[in-house]
């Protein structure tokens, strides 16, 4: 597959639709009451600061004989204070997170991947060559991980092995998280587990409840079939639940399962996922307790969710089905890149008014109105998202998407480094890849207090979701435990566009 023939994302920042800008400004306007009251409060305080003792004495004497005025004024103050505290959303903190790092025995080089694919005996020579070409251009390195059932000769995909993989990943990530935070399992009030393709009975969330003996009134959710963006859907769900359940901890577990979802057929649209997806998972602890702010790493500022499933082309571009030999696989449509671009455009346009500096918003909006309403032939203004965020965690779904996003968002190699190195070291770990990327940024010592990080992911459906975090403290990598710490000095590495696999 030559690079010039590779599908590309549309330049979504050059073709923005006004309805998505309106949606973004709608989010902003919902807080207009506070924006209006704050200046009035400041003016009132400024005026009061000019009053003398004689003025205050005169005011007191006046109020003593105007009981109705006092009652009405007090009622108004109480009403406004109650309205403010009742409508103010609870702050959501990310206490800590943990990414699972499999043992070295699960490591799979590119050569081992091709060797096991050939030994499976189900792929034609043409499709073995096809997988080799995909892998050589994938951006994956030599240290990604596969479950034991797939590495065996012959492979042994079965329910028991799939459960074994799920337990290894989930419990490994959760154990690391509980060790980091010191939180007891009994203190967790909300549990959300997402895994797109493996949904056993009892559920994965029930598996966690059983293993850690979580309390009987826990709010437990198991999200399936929601693709690689399900991790941020879980974060958004946790945020909504934390708004109505005070003094709570929410545990989010994001993973994918490889064992039962390795494709053994010869449909090329289904073979691509074999070459990209690898074993991994993450556990994240969120809190709405004000007492946790001092020890938390980040505060959740925004979550924006975009769903394009109403469009048939978007709905079917990532589709699990049987091939002509009745083997189940996930087919990737040729329209995938175009669909991803539309979803990204919608999500980014909605997010822009919430995060961009006012100067960028004015330039962007004025240019947009001139082009869309007054039909002026002027060059569109592309907002600089680097002014809104210091760090970017873009789902490491594949090299092609990362290349196109780097170009469309005008990002530097430094901004893309966490995503590219995560793809190289761990492969596409589905919904958990964003957390390996954030762990990379921390391990490099780049997170400073007040820094803003933008996580963006997309997946089947078709969905695109964003989360914005603000660092509450500077992260000292020497005090962190993560899958990168022991080898962070080896990165970044140069990743050639084509890496030849020696047969």
CA angle 301, 302, 308 (to 5 degrees): 165
Given 275, 347, 395, 415, which residue is catalytic? 395
Question: Residue 459: CB partners within 8 Å, gap ≥ 6?
Answer: 196, 226, 227, 228, 229, 230, 318, 431
SS3 labels along 252-268: EEEECCCHHHCCCCCCH
Given 275, 307, 408, 464, which residue is catalytic? 307
Query: Across 173-233, where does the E strand assignment appear?
Result: 188-194, 219-223
* Active site (annotated) includes residue 302: no
CA pair distance 83, 74, nearest whole angstrom: 14
Given 195, 275, 391, 451, which residue is catalytic? 391
Query: Across 278-353, where does the E strand assignment appear?
Result: 281-287, 298-307, 318-322, 328-332
Given 99, 228, 275, 317, which residue is catalytic? 228
CA pair distance 346, 351, nearest whole angstrom: 9
* Active site (annotated) includes residue 47: no
Strand partners, 457: 465
* Active site (annotated) includes residue 217: no
Question: Residue 152: CB partners within 8 Å, gap ≥ 6?
Answer: none
CA pair distance 466, 205, nearest whole angstrom: 24
Q: Residue 391's Cα: distance from chain center in Å?
A: 13
Angle between helix 433-443 and 230-244 (nearest 10): 80
Structure tokens of 474? 């500077």
What letter would DSSP give residue 12?
G
Q: Residue 367's Cα: distance from chain center in Å?
A: 30
Residue 364 DSSP SS3: helix
- Per DSSP bridges, beta strands 249-255 and 219-223 are unpaired
381 within 8 A of 367, measured Cβ to Cβ? yes
CA pair distance 191, 502, nearest whole angstrom: 45
Query: Which residue's structure tokens are 């479950």?
Result: 147
* Active site (annotated) includes residue 245: no
Given 194, 266, 428, 465, which residue is catalytic? 428
* Active site (annotated) includes residue 247: no
CB neighbourhood size of 112 (10 A) = 13
Which candidate, 228, 252, 237, places its Cα nearest to that of 99?
A: 252
CA pair distance 414, 492, nearest whole angstrom: 9
Residue 288 CB-density burial (10 A; 0-12 exposed, 13-18 middle, 19+ buried):
buried
Maximum distance among all Cα pairs of the chain, rounded to whole angstroms: 97
250-286 in b/e burial notation, b at 16+ Cβ within 10 A?
A: bbbbbbbbbbbbbbbbbbeebbbbbbbbbbbbbbbbb
Query: Across 100-156, where does the E strand assignment appear?
Result: 107-108, 144-145
Catalytic positions are: 228, 307, 391, 395, 428
């Amino acid at each position: 597959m030559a690079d010039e023939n590779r599908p590309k994302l549309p330049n979504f920042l050059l073709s923005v639709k006004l309805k998505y800008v309106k949606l973004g400004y709608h989010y902003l306007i919902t807080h207009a009451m506070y924006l209006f009251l704050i200046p009035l409060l400041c003016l009132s305080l400024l005026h009061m600061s000019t009053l003398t003792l004689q003025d205050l004495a005169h005011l007191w004497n006046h109020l003593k004989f105007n009981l109705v005025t006092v009652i009405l004024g007090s009622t108004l103050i109480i009403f406004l204070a109650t309205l403010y505290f009742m409508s103010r959303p609870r702050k959501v903190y990310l206490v800590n997170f943990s990414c699972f790092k499999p043992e070295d025995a699960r490591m799979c080089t590119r050569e081992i991947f091709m060797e096991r694919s050939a030994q499976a005996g189900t792929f034609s020579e043409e499709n073995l060559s096809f997988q080799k070409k995909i892998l050589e251009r994938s951006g994956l390195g030599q240290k990604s991980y596969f479950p034991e059932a797939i590495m065996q000769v012959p492979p042994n995909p079965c329910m028991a092995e799939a459960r074994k993989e799920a337990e290894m990943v989930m419990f490994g990530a959760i154990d690391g998280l509980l060790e980091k935070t010191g939180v007891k399992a009994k203190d967790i009030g909300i549990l959300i587990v997402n895994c797109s393709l493996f949904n056993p009975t009892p559920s994965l969330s029930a598996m966690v409840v059983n293993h850690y003996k979580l309390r009987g009134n826990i709010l437990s959710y198991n999200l399936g079939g929601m693709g690689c963006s399900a991790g941020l859907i879980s974060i958004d769900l946790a945020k909504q639940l934390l708004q109505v359940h005070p003094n709570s901890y929410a545990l989010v577990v994001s993973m994918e399962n490889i064992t039962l979802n390795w494709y053994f057929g010869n449909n090329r649209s289904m073979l691509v996922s074999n070459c990209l997806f690898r074993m991994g998972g993450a556990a994240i602890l969120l809190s709405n307790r004000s007492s946790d702010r001092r020890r938390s790493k980040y505060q959740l500022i925004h979550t924006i969710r975009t769903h394009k499933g109403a469009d048939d082309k978007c709905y079917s571009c990532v589709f699990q089905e049987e091939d002509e030999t009745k083997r189940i696989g996930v087919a990737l449509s040729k329209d995938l890149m175009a669909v991803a671009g539309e979803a990204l455009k919608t999500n980014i346009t909605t997010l822009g008014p919430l995060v961009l500096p006012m100067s960028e918003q004015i330039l962007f909006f004025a240019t947009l109105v001139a082009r869309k309403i007054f039909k002026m032939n002027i060059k569109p203004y592309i907002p600089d998202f680097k002014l809104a965020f210091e760090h970017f965690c873009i789902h490491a779904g594949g090299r092609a998407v990362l290349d196109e996003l780097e170009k469309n968002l005008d990002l530097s190699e430094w901004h893309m480094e966490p995503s590219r190195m995560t793809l190289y070291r761990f492969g596409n770990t589905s919904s958990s890849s964003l957390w390996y990327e954030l762990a990379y940024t921390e391990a490099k010592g780049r997170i400073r207090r007040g820094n803003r990080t933008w996580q963006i992911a997309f997946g089947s459906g078709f969905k695109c979701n964003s989360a914005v975090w603000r660092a509450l403290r500077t992260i000292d990598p020497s005090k962190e435990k993560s899958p990168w710490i022991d080898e962070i000095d080896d990165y970044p590495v140069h990743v050639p566009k084509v890496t030849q696999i020696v047969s």
